[in-house]
Chains A and B, each alone.
Chain A
Amino acid sequence: MKALLKQKEISILAIILLIGAVLSFVSPVFLTIGNFLDIIEGNVVIGILAIGMTLIIITSDIDVSVAALTTAVAVSIGYLFTFLPDSWISVLLLFLIAPVIGLVMGLINGLLVSIIEIPAIVVTLGTLNIIAGLVLYITNGNYVNSTNFPQSFMAFANYELLGLPILIYLLAVVAIGTWFILKHTLIGRSVLAIGGNTQSSVRVGIDYKKVKLFVFAYMGFLAGIAAIAQTAYTKAVDPNGMLGLELTVIAAVVLGGANIHGGRGSIHGTLLGVLLLAIMQNGMILARIDTYWQNVVTGAIIVIAVSYDHLSYKRSQDKLAKIEVEA
């Protein structure tokens, strides 16, 4: 129990519970199952992307091209729909093709970061510009709406299992899968090791370049899956629909306790970070906060949350140091 309390994720959970308590006091709707399902389903895309971003941030890098990547895959899906037959095989094919498209683009990021050694923020800023520019040039910003979607995909998008929308399962699979990779595979352990201490991990024989390549390729892969989720959720492809989403994703990851300088971060922490942002968004209308003040409230909560989180972390580190001295 004590070990649990010491975890960094506890402070964010505390903030979530606090806001949740306030919200359920203000609005009777907040604490309903329907509302929670809406919140989670509405943030599946951010959740999937944030999980991929967690791995990158653990290795002390960053990827600002995620939203552009996801849009590019979503647009490709939109075009694919005109070729695919209307059957369940199409949905299956989609789950093969979309992640591969994402993976290829992620690999390009990864190669530039690991082999050419350009800082990740520069690479991804560059690919953000290139991909977003090309998408806009090719699509001219035009929507693809659900009239062109195969019925099988619509059926998939609306499918519910045990009362839960399919997208929630998708997020769960991605989360558990990534957690498993982090904890139980060699490459996952290497990710954590490199983030913790690059030099010593290289000395013990971890292939630094391979790990970097892996995290960016995996991000691309997840962007492909996120694109399917996005298309299923909005039932349309909007080339401008995810503009600026990368900052929300990064915010969720760092709010969830991942250290931007690497070495720290967890899947459940990130999911809590996504949840915090989601609840704040949801709560604005529920709590009937004046439109013009919503951003002030959101910004203030983020600043307070990160400061509080950092202070409690520092305090626990100080304690740790003292104990070592005493012993």
Chain B
Amino acid sequence: MKLSKESVLGLIALATFLLLAVIAPGFLSSNNINSMMFQLPEFGLIALAMMVVIVTGGIDLSITYIAALSGVGAALMLTNGYGILPAIIVAILFALACGAFNGFVVSKIGVSPILVTLGTMVLFEGIILAITKGSSISGFSEGYSLIGNGYYLGLVPLSIVIFAVFAIITAILLSKTSWGRSVYMYGSNETATLFSGVKNSRVLMKVYLYASLLAAISAIIMTSRYNSVKVDLGSSYLLQSVAAAVLGGTNIHGGYGKVIGTVYAVMIFQFIRNGLNLLGFHSSLVDVVIGAILILVLAMNFFSDKFKKIAETKNAGKAA
């Protein structure tokens, strides 16, 4: 039986889970499983956002600052006495504004995404600093804190349900809609896509808007979970999210990438971080392990591809 890249990754996720369940004390405790489910969504959403952008062959280095800025938007509304819904709307609007700016420069002016987002990363960070003067905004209502800390039906953390919903939406958007197909087409061959009658700039604009929407959702979960927002909210997720997307099989040059792969990759990261913490590893060694896994899995992909090719040529030879 041939397994897809994603299924192999799924097996790796399952194997890490089982391995850690055996060796890490308390890994399987209900308490720990629960806290992992609370930890995963915020990073998972950022990783999905990054993946969508990478599928187009781009990268969004400003994504975590978009999230932070959108969190600031929500925090400003909440601390000024507005309700939860207006706060969420403002958070999303803040993020969409950032996404539209990125999208405009990338799609209309045509500057390469890494350059644009490198600049907007500094720009958005600056805007947050100018608004907050560097201090944190905190103290939100009980109701708002339920988004990141509450349970759905009293059973599953609400945030992981939100994550699952957005993962499914993203999967459907990418695979079932014409926009999704154009995204993949654009990622594999820009010019051919243009000549086949697709409005590239519109497709791209939507990609950056959608990525910033996901960042906003992540920001809402984070601000609710931490009851506070500061300029560096989630900044450690930036390079990690790129790593998760490529570990999940997304082609860094664009054209390929699946939601399920990224989800598995996020799970692997989550299991390892948590498991190694429980085992009492020094935190800097956790980074080492994650880096090693990244390289190992991709090297494995390379060798399995190679063996497959060799096997195919052999079979072809036999048939002849």
For this complex, 27 residue pairs linking A to B, each with C-beta atoms less than 8 Å apart, are: A118-B299, A122-B295, A122-B298, A123-B298, A125-B239, A125-B294, A126-B243, A126-B291, A126-B292, A127-B291, A133-B285, A133-B286, A136-B287, A247-B118, A254-B112, A254-B114, A254-B118, A261-B112, A292-B134, A295-B125, A296-B127, A296-B129, A296-B130, A299-B119, A299-B126, A310-B111, A314-B110
Query: Which of A24-32, A151-159, A206-214, A301-309 participates in binding chain B?
Result: A301-309
* 0 or 1 for each of A281-294: is its CB under 8 Å from B? (1 = yes): 00000000000111
Chain B residues with Cβ under 8 A from A122's Cβ? 243, 246, 252, 294-295, 298
In the complex, B124 has a CB within 8 A of chain A: yes
- List residues 44-92 of chain A with CB under 8 A from any CB of chain B: 64
Number of interface residues of A (CB under 8 A): 45
Is B126 within 8 A of A133, CB to CB?
A: no
B84 within 8 A of A: no
Q: Does A241 contact B (CB under 8 A)?
A: no
Query: Interface extent on B, as a size class?
Result: 35 or more
**Could you tell me the distance between the alpha carbons of A117 and B302 in the complex, rounded to whole angstroms?**
7
B124-167 CB contact bits vs A (8 Å, 1 = yes)? 11110110011000000000000000000000000000000000
Query: Are A136 and B129 touching (Cβ within 8 A)?
Result: no
Given known contacts A121-B252, A126-B294, is B288 in contact with A299 (CB within 8 Å)?
no
Besides the contacts A121-B246, A129-B287, what 12 more A-B pairs have beta carbons closer than 8 Å? Answer: A121-B252, A129-B243, A129-B288, A130-B287, A133-B291, A254-B118, A261-B112, A298-B123, A299-B126, A303-B123, A306-B115, A314-B110
A260 within 8 Å of B (CB atoms): yes
Chain B residues lying within 8 Å of A303, measured Cβ to Cβ, are: 105, 116, 119-120, 123
Give the chain B neighbours of A132 by CB distance below 8 A.
Answer: 284, 287
Is B284 in contact with A133, judged by CB distance below 8 angstroms?
Answer: yes
Residue-wise interface mask of B (266-308) relative to A, using a CB-CB cutoff of 8 A (1 in contact, 0 not) = 0000000000000000101111101110110011001000000
- List the A residue with the shortest CB-CB distance to B122: A299
Smallest distance from the beta carbon of B279 to chain A beta carbons, Å?
15
Complex interface: chain A residues within 8 A of B285 (CB): 133, 137
**B292: A residues at CB distance < 8 A:** 126, 130
Q: Which of A117, A122, A310 is the most central at the interface, judged by chain B CB atoms within 10 Å of its CB?
A: A122
Residue interface bits A246-263, CB-to-B below 8 A is 1, else 0: 010011001100011100
Residue in contact with A298 in the complex, picked from B114, B126, B239, B290, CB distance below 8 Å: B126
Whether A126 pairs with B295 at a CB distance below 8 angstroms is yes
Q: Is B61 an interface residue (CB 8 A)?
A: yes
Q: Give the CA-CA distance A261 to B115 in the complex, in Å.
A: 11
Q: Which A residues are in CB contact (< 8 Å) with B122?
A: 295, 298-299, 302
Min C-beta distance of A97 to chain B, whole Å = 24
Which residues of A are interface residues toward B (Cβ below 8 A)?
64, 112, 116-119, 121-123, 125-130, 132-134, 136-137, 247, 250-251, 254-255, 259-261, 292-300, 302-303, 305-307, 310-311, 314
Contacts of B294 in A (CB 8 A): 122, 125-126, 129
CA A299 to CA B122, docked complex, whole Å = 5
Cβ B126 vs Cβ A128 within 8 A: no
Neighbour of A130 across the interface among B118, B127, B288, CB < 8 A: B288
Kindly supply a per-residue 1/0 record for chain B positions 27-40, scoring 1 wherever the CB is within 8 Å of any chain A CB and 0 otherwise. Answer: 00000000000000
Closest 3 CB pairs of A and B: A299-B123, A295-B126, A129-B291
A122 to chain B, nearest CB (A): 5
Residue numbers in A under 8 Å from B48 (CB-CB): none
Q: Are B243 and A125 in contact (CB under 8 A)?
A: yes
Query: CB of B3 within 8 A of chain A?
Result: no
Least Cβ–Cβ distance between A229 and chain B, in angstroms: 24
B253 close to chain A: CB less than 8 A: yes
Cα A306 to Cα B119 with chains together (Å): 9
Is B246 touching A119 in the complex (CB atoms < 8 A)? yes
Q: Are A311 and B109 touching (Cβ within 8 A)?
A: yes
For A297, list chain B residues within 8 Å (CB): 126
